[in-house]
Structure 1
């Protein structure tokens, strides 16, 4: 389902069709995925985990990675909720969505 991982039409509208800018934004987003997923998975600091989920959600929305944004939002909501924890299924959904987005980005870069 990686063809839906990034909304390239949305990204193109955001960048006014500037292919180099798209590539730059997607490269940055792919790097952010790695960094923020690591914090969400490995950090013992609750606030850092919430901040990482929130930042990743915003970055995903900026490039049209809607599945990543939705999954990060579920993580953020779980961490902000009464249990103050993200479910394993939410963590798995975020990891999968991020992997699919990164695969779509790799194909985009190869096709350029």
Structure 2
């Protein structure tokens, strides 16, 4: 697999980074313009999803939102966000009210990293 062009542009790669840049490059066929578009879309979608989760009362709707975000996270290589979503899906199905605090933290960290990449 070729290294991500985003990694080359940003001048850095970071082990355990919030975005797996190799996976991102693979999913976008190494097209830097597409990588940028996909990262912008993820930031927009993830922020909108967190806003909706904050006010959503319906458990099925919450589950759908988390599941959709999990798929988007995997598509851009945001593996930590995807893992948190997967755990949250399990928690949502449980008897206790599931907290989204871990998801909020993972999304904020990932979006901050994306901003650094795009500005770098």
Q: If the TM-score is normalised by the length of the shorter chain, which range does it land in?
A: 0.7 to 0.9
CA–CA distance in structure 1, aligned partners of residues 43 and 53 of structure 2? 15
Q: TM-score, normalised by structure 1?
A: 0.87
Post-superposition Cα deviations, 1:59-110, rounded to whole Å, max 9, x if no partner, equal 00000000100111111111123x1631x3xx22111110011011101111
Whole-Å separation in 2 of the counterparts to 1:74 and 1:39: 19
1:104 aligned residue: 113
Aligned to 1:7: 20
> Following TM superposition, where does structure 1 have runs of at least 4 consecutive aligned residues deviating by more than 4 angstroms?
none
Q: Specify the structure having the higher radius of gyration (Cα).
A: 2
Are the counterparts in 2 of residues 39 and 48 from structure 1 also a CA contact under 8 Å?
Answer: no
Tell me by how many angstroms 1:40 deviates.
2.1
**Is there any run of 5+ residues in structure 2 with no aligned partner, and where?**
1-13
RMSD: 1.3
In the alignment, the residues of structure 2 paired with residue 97 and residue 71 of structure 1 have an alpha-carbon distance, to the nearest angstrom, of: 8
Does residue 44 (structure 1) correspond to residue 57 (structure 2)? The answer is yes
Normalized per residue, the structure richer in helix is: 1
Task: With the length of structure 2 as denominator, give the TM-score of the two structures.
Answer: 0.81
User: Which residues of structure 1 form unaligned runs of 5+?
Assistant: none
